[in-house]
Amino acid sequence: MADGSSSGGLPGSEEILAAIVQSATDAIVVLDERQRIVLFNRSAERMFQCTATEALGSGFEQFVAPRVRVEFAAWIDRWRQSHPQTGHLETVPTEWALRAGGDEFPCEASFTEQHVGRRRLITLFIRDISERKRAERTLRRRMEFDAFLFDLSRTVIGLPDEKLDVYMEDGLARVGAFLQMDRITLLELAADREELIVAYSWSATRAVAAAPRISKQMLPWWVDQVLRGEVTLTSGVNDLPEGAAGEKEYLRTRGVASAASIPLKVGGEIAGAISFVTTSRPVSWTEELINQLRAIGDILWNALKRRQAMQALLDAQAHMRESEVRFRLMANTAPVKIWMTDADMQITYVNQRWLTFTGGPAEADLGSGWMARLHPDDVERVNRTRSQAFTRHQAYEIEFRLRRHDGEFRWIFAQGVPRFNADQSFAGYIGSAIDITERKTAEAALSTLSQRLIQAEEHESARLARELHDDINQRLALLVLNLETVKARYQTAAPSLGRDVQEAIDAAAALTSDVQALSHRLHSSKLSILGLEVAARDLCREFAERRRVDIQFGSKGLARTLPEDISVCLYRVLQEALQNAIKHSGSRQITVALDAQPSEVTLVVEDSGVGFDPAAALKGRGLGLLGMKERLKLVSGELTIDARSPGGTTIRARVPLDEAA
């Protein structure tokens, strides 16, 4: 209706159009040539908190945040100049809009221009995306917390018991930094249930440390809250009830702005609490934040109880001959599953926590009966690990899946330590086990994310390599040809100019070579054209020449046309392994072998350097071993490391092949 006529003669069409505009869920604003408002629907009134009467005739810039007004006006001008035709719909990137009261909010806006009579009008369709932005921030924060919780859990679980005390303060400091807290305290309930005793505490430099003991007499209201299992939350000291006068005074003297405490349980009974305090800012304790505090409290509490339980077990082992009854009482009240074996690997004892998990009776799990609960895929690996440890009388750790009483298989982390009789003869093992199913689920999610990033990185490297080879290199080659022409034209008439041109030719040729080398490192064309064997041999030769080391390469039975994903994976593993060997081992001799069998292909990289600790490297960020493992997971492969310090390192990557490959 650009000419103002009716639409097909429909009766009341203008009224229908006006009703549609007013009932639209998005804000609709129409501007004239000078960007003055000539239409302002009801959704616009709600969005900008301004009535149509107030808005009509005024400039639209009042609803654009001051910091982007100039940019917004320039964008409108460019858009109108570049789209002279009417009816074209354009969406402007997310801008910060401004409500009449001065509050900014994010929005999406689409523009179209129409001619109505002799007038050129701009119609804006505006959507408030505040909720979407909040949801994105919440999701991003939740993913960050999940990754942090997984890392904290993995670190605590893998930490030797004797190092736990040293680590706990650092662990609390990490939690404080992540959650922006100023003090975190882990407290244990005393045996008489009359006071809570600080087990571990961390305070920021500006925060006053917590009292070492808190009794009912000192803070009666709060201790009763803990004993009842009630979470205590205060965004401000004055939020506490009248009956908490002592608690208010305690928080004020320590400069507390906000505080939360989470009761901690063992076997359904209150056993302690963890508190979180800020001194510089008030905190709104949302349900999601409380759940995060609970998860952190459970991890740290379980770590404390695990150390205490294992220490108690070892103490009980030394005194077992004196008090078997006392040992069993202690083990049955421990917060972890405890087991014992004889010298023949047969289970002789399981505690109550174990029986609660399996559903009992104990006789069903004694001897080797417990292995009937193992997941079929884990039986061979568990037997192998236990047999090796028993033969050597060494401590061991293992993860496996065990069927719970309800039929669900749960991931279990078990530790075993050898025990000896008074005459130092081998008596068997004593150990503990905890449920780590949630941690394994988080690991799987993070592994999937890591593998997607690897795939994206590989695609981007291939794209950049093509750009360098197909564009930059071609242009450099053309530049060299042009310079050769100039040199031929002026060499006789102006010898000095000819020499200068030759220097430019040499520089361009060297740059061409560097670009070609960079393109090759990003994505080897030989890998996709000539296959893995040729590309790997060329990579070894390049490393040997560039780093001045001796690399012996050999291959056997390797087909030229392996599947592309397998070829790329092994090529990248070889790159990383060579880089690590040259950088970290100190060895000047490296052996590389590719061996293809009908069912698998194997890559072996071996050096004779100083060696390293593979477990420490996989937990850290040093040698790129995690990247190798994640790449191999993409093709169902596995990485094994034999590192002898000193004595060298052997890295072996194995990838299965199906019949088609």
pLDDT digits (tens, 9 = 90+) for 352-405: 888 989 987 888 889 999 999 999 999 999 999 999 999 999 999 999 999 999
Average pLDDT over residues 332-350: 85
Q: 260 Cβ partners below 8 Å, 6+ apart?
A: 231, 232, 233, 234, 275, 276, 283, 285, 290, 293
pLDDT at 81: 75
- pTM (predicted TM-score): 0.40
Residue 538: pLDDT band (50, 70, 90) is confident
Contact between residue 109 and residue 92 where contact means Cβ atoms under 8 Å apart: yes
pLDDT of residue 389: 92
Q: 45-57: per-residue pLDDT in tens? A: 999 999 999 999 9
> Which of 22, 24, 30 has its CA nearest to residue 124?
30
Q: How large is the average pLDDT for residues 168-186?
A: 86
* Position 333 confidence tier, pLDDT thresholds 50, 70, 90: low
pLDDT band (50, 70, 90) for residue 590: very high
Distance separating alpha carbons of residues 48 and 32, to the nearest angstrom = 19
DSSP structure class, residue 16: H
Q: Can you give the pLDDT at residue 458?
A: 61
Helix (H, G, I), strand (E, B) or coil at 201: strand
For 202: left if phi > 0, alpha if psi spans -120 to 50, otherwise beta; the answer is beta
Total Cβ atoms within 10 A of residue 547: 15
Number of helices (H) and strands (E) in the chain: give both, helices first.
20, 21
- Residue 570 contacts residue 598 (beta carbons within 8 Å): no
Structure tokens at 157: 């679980």
Q: Is 362 left (phi over 0), alpha (psi -120 to 50) or beta?
A: alpha
pLDDT, position 619? 53
pLDDT at 592: 93
Q: Per mean pLDDT, which of 30-39, 333-342, 371-380 is the most reliable?
A: 371-380
- Report yes or no: 111 and 124 within 8 Å, Cβ to Cβ: yes
What is the rounded average pLDDT of the residues 4-32? Answer: 73
Percentage of the chain lying above the pLDDT 90 cut: 25
pLDDT of residue 332: 63
* Lowest model confidence (mean pLDDT) among 31-40, 333-342, 383-392: 333-342
Task: Say what percent of the chain tops pLDDT 70.
Answer: 79
pLDDT score at 449: 56
Specify whether the backbone of 193 is left (phi greater than 0), alpha (psi in -120 to 50) or beta: left
Q: Which amino acid is at 498?
A: G
Least confident of 427-436, 494-503, 510-519, 543-552: 510-519
Q: pLDDT tens across 430-452, in order?
A: 988 988 888 777 766 656 655 56
- CB proximity list for 317: less than 8 A, separation 6 or greater: 419, 430
Mean pLDDT of 593-598: 90
Cis peptide before 361 (omega within 30 of 0): yes
**Residue 468 clears pLDDT 80, i.e. is over it:** no
Residue 84 has pLDDT above 60, yes or no: no
- Is the pLDDT confidence value at 528 over 90? no
pLDDT of residue 9: 43
Are 602 and 635 in contact by the 8 Å Cβ rule? The answer is no
pLDDT of residue 47: 93
Residue 401's CB: how many other CB atoms inside 10 A?
18
From the CB of residue 97, how many other CB atoms can be counted at a distance below 10 Å? 24
- Does 411 have pLDDT greater than 90? yes
For residue 247, the tally of other CB atoms under 10 A from its CB is 24
CB contact at 8 A, 652 and 639: yes
Q: What is the pLDDT of residue 99?
A: 92
Q: Could you give the CA distance from residue 562 to residue 574 in angstroms, rounded to a whole number?
A: 16
Whether 77 has a pLDDT exceeding 70, the answer reads: yes
Dihedral angle sign, alpha carbons of residues 129, 130, 135, 141? positive
Decide if pLDDT at 406 tops 70.
yes
Contact 547, 525 (CB under 8 A): no
Task: Identify which of 587, 592, 576 has the alpha carbon closest to the alpha carbon of residue 549.
Answer: 587
Provide mean pLDDT across the span 197-201.
Answer: 87
Describe the strand order of the beta sheet including 347-350 as a list of residue ranges. Answer: 347-350, 337-341, 426-435, 409-420, 396-403
Average pLDDT value over all residues in the chain? 80
Q: Where does residue 148 rank: exposed (0-12), middle (13-18), buried (19+ CB within 10 A)?
A: middle
pLDDT band at 554 (very low <50, low <70, confident <90, very high): very high
Binned at pLDDT 50, 70 and 90, residue 4 comes out as very low
Residues forming a β-bridge with 90: 111
More confident residue, 608 or 268: 608
Label residue 253 exposed, middle or buried (CB < 10 Å: 0-12, 13-18, 19+): exposed
In this predicted structure, the answer to whether residue 465 has a pLDDT above a threshold of 60 is no
Mean pLDDT to the nearest integer, 303-307: 68
Tell me which of 22-26, 306-310, 359-363, 417-421 is least confident: 306-310
Say whether pLDDT at 3 is over 50.
no
Q: In what order do the strands lie in the sheet with 119-128?
A: 37-40, 27-31, 119-128, 104-116, 90-98
Segment 160-181 shows an average pLDDT of 80
CB 182 within 8 A of CB 206: yes
How confident is the model over 475-486, as a mean pLDDT?
A: 75
